Structure 1
Amino acid sequence: MFDTVLDVLGKTAQDVGHTLAANWPFLLISVIVASAIPVYIGAERLSSWLRRKTLWAVIGAVVLATLTPFCSCGTTAVVLGALASSVPWAPVVTFMVASPLTSPEELVYSIGLFGPDFAVTFFVAAIILGFFAGAITWLIEKTGWLDGQARLTSTEAEKKAEESCCTSGDAEDDISGGGGVSAPIGSGGGGGLARTALLNRPIAPAPAPAPVETGLVKRWKLDEFGNELMITSKRLALYFLGFATLGFLIINSIPTRYLTEYLGGGNWYSVPLAALIGIPVYLNSDGSLPLIASLMKGGMGPGPAIAFLMTGAGTSVGAISGMLLIARWRVVALVVGILFTGAVVLGYTAPMWL
């Protein structure tokens, strides 16, 4: 028994080492792209692209969703900015469907793990599904079924968008001492003292103008890019090594015949089963991509694999949390239904050319 455990662990470590050696160039490119886009583009500029007519907003939403590496928190910030400007549901749902599925660095990452055919198929499918989501939502929205589904008013959305992710929502105390409402000057109970204090308070000198930063580091935001690069590198390395190890550990511990029997693609239920499993099991692309790549090497079919990735990416814990913050159950159900339908259709058709 002990020898068997050691054999499994040794084989797992060897498989992880081979995978890392084969994919490190793609990992490096992924880290650079994922770090550069948030620093040099930003969420405010991206969210303004959604403030257009419905058709152009849907096209812009697909472009943004495809070209941006935002996590679910970043996606929530962009969508909240769109809701604050009363954008129709069609581009919003389009972005919510397509954004978690793919991005430039994920395309490069997937090419290294699955090969170009699988990666390009998933990338193109995410774009097509985004346009499909926009069209379906536009038709449904005309019926009035999505009226009142926004959880936030425009003012609330603007406030939430400003406070999302990393900003602080602390407000400065007013002159009343933190009570929230200051007493009117000149009223009873010390109003005269308040007036005297305000009139006689020392006037602070005007701050000296800040020196103009002309250095290369500030001009090109190299410090921000360096910080983003370090954070992304640590996260990607942790997820890649952790989930690749988990995947190969599963492969080496469980007989391959179980994967071949239930998720190998030969049974009609393997694709919808994988799509259903992806909803609760998927964590994030950094971890789930190497996990599925490991499972495919052990017998998981390409159809179930692509179905798992499509439903999982759009319905992960972070994605569902972001959707529930933005919209009510009808919109959330619409997004999940579109993703599940697209995953099943792609899962059945993709093996024809993969």
Structure 2
Amino acid sequence: MLSLDFVGRALWAIAPAFLLAIGLAAYAKASGADAQVARVFQGRESGMIVAAALMGALSPFCSCGVVPLIAGLLAAGVPVAPVMAFWLASPLMDPNMFVITAANLGLEFALAKTAAAVGVGLLGGFAAMALDRLGWIDGALRSDGRKVCGAAARRAMAPPPPVWAFWREPARRRAFAAEGRSTLWFLLRWMTLAFLLESLMVRHLPAEWIAGYLGGEGAGAIPLAVALGVPAYFNGFAAVPLVKGLVELGMSPAVGLAFLVAGGVTSIPAMIAVQALVRLRLFLAYLGLAGVGALLSGYGYAAWLALG
């Protein structure tokens, strides 16, 4: 009963942010704004990398959901570097995630995670460009991925313009309602599970253990969080309240950020999908850049907190 009471109070506390996140997702779907991603993959490669990293921090794709889009872009001939920038940044942040993160961990943490998303995207994009020019990345997609995704990709490269006043069209109003229901159910079940796990952690995890291994005392706390992020991370929205609970038990926020970045990009389901899609060298580059980006995000945020 105590856990259910904890869950109910936690859901009530974030209800305004919860409803705002649902509204943003439904509006993006109904207006067609979520289909505009491909427009950033035009122009000079360096400019595309910057635009892709920024767009990635705004786009509503999780680490698994971004894989079909990545397949389409690569099959359509988009250079690896901007695709990598978008690929790494997109699962880490979007408007819904920003609202949920700010409601649970504070505005500063949400801004830090947004900066980390863009930074990891830029790191991955420019590193992939260098590796590609050195000839290390020999092709991107496995042959079957290119055959399956090519036609859909070419259509995706020319999306129709968004209709911001979507309510004037019945079909778009229906899309708004359908996406709202879908997002409500998605967020409700994951946030409920997350708050339930948080309540159990608060009751049963010793605060001294958390503070000792994942707080400011342990020199290896950030690498440990990155290593744990891959197997322990199961959903971005569910991970936020878990990190909140651990921070309240004594974990450093910088360690929490490293965990969220590492797990957000390289969750096990996403890795399985990516490994089946791209060639080995690109897969290894994706893993390595995600790990380095998570480490730099954690240490960078720790340095920022130390200045305060």
TM more than 0.5: yes
- Which residue of structure 2 lines up, in the alignment, with residue 6 of structure 1? none
Q: Mapping of 1:82-161 within 5 angstroms?
A: 82-152=73-143, 154-159=146-151
CA–CA distance in 2 between the matches of 1:95 and 1:116?
Answer: 24
AA at the equivalent of 2:186: R
Deviation at 1:161, TM superposition (A): 5.3
Is 1:19 paired with 2:19?
Answer: no
- Which residue of structure 2 lines up, in the alignment, with residue 333 of structure 1? 284
TM-score (normalised: structure 1): 0.77
Deviation at 1:348, TM superposition (A): 2.4
SS at match of 2:108: helix
CA–CA distance in 2 between the matches of 1:39 and 1:216?
Answer: 8
Query: Where does the alignment leave 5 or more consecutive residues of structure 2 unmatched?
Result: 155-165
Instruction: For residues 239-292 of structure 1, give each alpha carbon's deviation from its aligned partner in whole angstroms, at most 9, with x where no partner exists.
Output: 001111112202211222111111123110111101100011101112111111
Query: Where does the alignment leave 5 or more consecutive residues of structure 1 unmatched?
Result: 1-8, 163-214
Instruction: For residues 316-337 of structure 1, give each alpha carbon's deviation from its aligned partner in whole angstroms, at most 9, with x where no partner exists.
Output: 1332133224312221221221
- Where do 4+ consecutive residues of structure 1 move more than 6 Å? none
More divergent stretch after superposition (309-318 vs 18-27): 18-27
* Greater gyration radius: 1
On the 8 A contact 2:17/2:99 being kept in 1, the answer is: yes
CA–CA distance in 1 between the matches of 2:76 and 2:43?
Answer: 10
CA–CA distance in 1 between the matches of 2:218 and 2:275?
Answer: 35
Q: Which has the higher helix share?
A: 2
AA at the equivalent of 1:223: R
Aligned match for 1:244, one of 195, 210, 213: 195
Q: Mapping of 1:38-77 within 5 angstroms?
A: 38-41=29-32, 45-77=36-68
Instruction: For residues 292-313 of structure 1, give each alpha carbon's deviation from its aligned partner in whole angstroms, at most 9, with x where no partner exists.
Output: 1122112221121111000000
- Which residue of structure 1 lines up, in the alignment, with residue 265 of structure 2? 314
Q: Mapping of 1:264-303 within 5 angstroms?
A: 264-303=215-254
- Which residue of structure 2 lines up, in the alignment, with residue 256 of structure 1? 207
AA at the equivalent of 1:225: F
AA at the equivalent of 2:299: Y
TM-score (normalised: structure 2): 0.87
Number of residues of Structure 1 aligned to a counterpart in Structure 2: 295
Deviation at 1:42, TM superposition (A): 6.0
On the 8 A contact 2:63/2:264 being kept in 1, the answer is: no
Could you tell me the percent identity over the aligned residues?
28
AA at the equivalent of 1:31: I
AA at the equivalent of 1:157: C
AA at the equivalent of 2:292: T
